[in-house]
Amino acid sequence: MTYDMVGLARSLIDIDSTTGQEGAVARWLAGWLRGRGYDVDEQPVEGDRVNLYVTLGQPLVVMSTHLDCVPPYFPSREEGGKLYGRGACDAKGIAAAQIGALEQIRTSGEKRVGLLFVVGEEQGSHGAHAANRVAPGSRYLIDGEPTDNRLGAATRGVYRVRLHARGRAAHSSHPEQGVSAIEKLLDALMELRELSLPTSPALGNTSYTVALIDGGVAPNVVPPQASAEVNFRIVGPAKNVRTALAPLTRLVELEDVIEVPPVEMATVPGFETAVFPFTTDIPFLSAWGAPLLFGPGSVLLAHTADEHVRLDELHAAVGHYAQIAETLLARD
């Protein structure tokens, strides 16, 4: 039975699976895989959202990636040796390459490699949390994210915190009668620029993005409240960043939103390694075995209006995934 990897990738891309709407792509892919003789376990997550656990036997090595994408959706096209579309590199092209690797591996009769496709990675990792509760006893997890076909030695974590500023409302014609929460928030954000944040020899410097700001009630009212959400890419425990933020508490209240720790990963010989600043589902799939991180495409193109992956890189990833899986099996 022939296998058209690029055709499969395009079929996946052309089904909109913005986070929360993965049901259609999961159902389509489950049917496609069953048609090729795979056992497919649909793991319920929420509503019609399901993870797909794909096997031929009892896997020791599982290749995994996610089926959801960020908005806005746009369909696939091929141009100039590249595959474009939402999810081309993050991560439907990766899913197609992992399936291609398993197709290659199964030709030798090897049944100890499987696949796990999860939902919700881009927001909340709900699929990974659900999958971790039913882990089958695999020993290695090869997580697929765009790493330019390099093995990840480590990834930074995430610490997201909300800053709340409290003020006192007053008529804007008498601002001295009120306290502007927006001005307090701005003062805190300016002070944030000057703080010394944690560093790591392996992972580098903590970075951050002020991602969301909200405040005020009307143009003619001194704003009684304001808030900002700040996303830190952390290189150690989140508590170290929280300690560094302590001086801001005279201006704002701090509310923890999300914490994902940094992760060090296994590697195999023969591949370039790198440290990546993004996070993955790996911390939430701890029961699936020792983690590795690998995938075609660049994270610099993920989530952009120009998202694409080079076709030669995508084809090369098939052999790379197979090589990594076979090396891990030989360790057992």
CA angle (146 as vertex; 140, 154 as ends), nearest 5: 55
CB atoms within 10 A of CB 78: 14
Average pLDDT across the chain, whole number: 97
Give the model confidence (pLDDT) of 12-27 as tens digits: 999 999 999 999 999 9
Q: Please, which pLDDT band fits residue 6 given cuts at 50, 70 and 90? A: very high
Residue listed under structure tokens 């499969």: 8
Q: Which of 121, 145, 259, 307 is catalytic?
A: 121
**Residue 28, pLDDT score:** 98
Give the model confidence (pLDDT) of 77-93 as tens digits: 999 999 999 999 999 99
Give the model confidence (pLDDT) of 94-134 as tens digits: 999 999 999 999 999 999 999 999 999 999 899 999 999 99
Residue listed under structure tokens 């939402």: 86
| pLDDT surpasses 70 at 146 | yes
| pLDDT surpasses 80 at 2 | no
Active site residue 121: yes
Give the model confidence (pLDDT) of 161-193 as tens digits: 999 999 999 999 999 999 999 999 999 999 999
Q: Does domain 5-155+262-331 have CATH number 3.30.1540.20?
A: no
| pLDDT surpasses 90 at 5 | yes
| pLDDT surpasses 80 at 332 | no
> Helix, strand, coil % (nearest 5) of the chain?
30, 30, 40
Q: How far is CA 120 from the centre of its chain?
A: 9
Helices (H) and strands (E) in the chain, counts: 7, 18
Give the model confidence (pLDDT) of 269-325 as tens digits: 999 999 998 999 999 999 999 999 999 999 999 999 999 999 999 999 999 999 999
Rounded CA separation 260/161 (Å)? 12
Rounded CA separation 249/264 (Å)? 32
Mean pLDDT value of segment 237-264: 96
CA angle (304 as vertex; 311, 276 as ends), nearest 5: 75
Beta bridge partners of 225: 166
Strand bridging mode 225-234 / 204-205: unpaired
Residue 234 φ/ψ, nearest 5 degrees: -100, 155
Q: Is 151 in contact with 268 (CB distance < 8 Å)? A: yes
pLDDT > 90: percent of the chain: 97
Residue 158 φ/ψ, nearest 5 degrees: -130, 135
Establish whether the linkage from the previous residue to 218 is cis, with ω within 30° of 0: no
Rounded CA separation 106/99 (Å)? 11
CATH architecture under which domain 157-260 falls: 2-Layer Sandwich (3.30)
Mean pLDDT value of segment 207-211: 97
**Residue 1, pLDDT score:** 65
Q: Is the pTM of this model over 0.75?
A: yes
Q: Is 285 in contact with 141 (CB distance < 8 Å)? A: yes
SS3 for 37? coil
Residue 59 φ/ψ, nearest 5 degrees: -70, 140
Every domain of the chain and the residues it spans: 5-155+262-331, 157-260
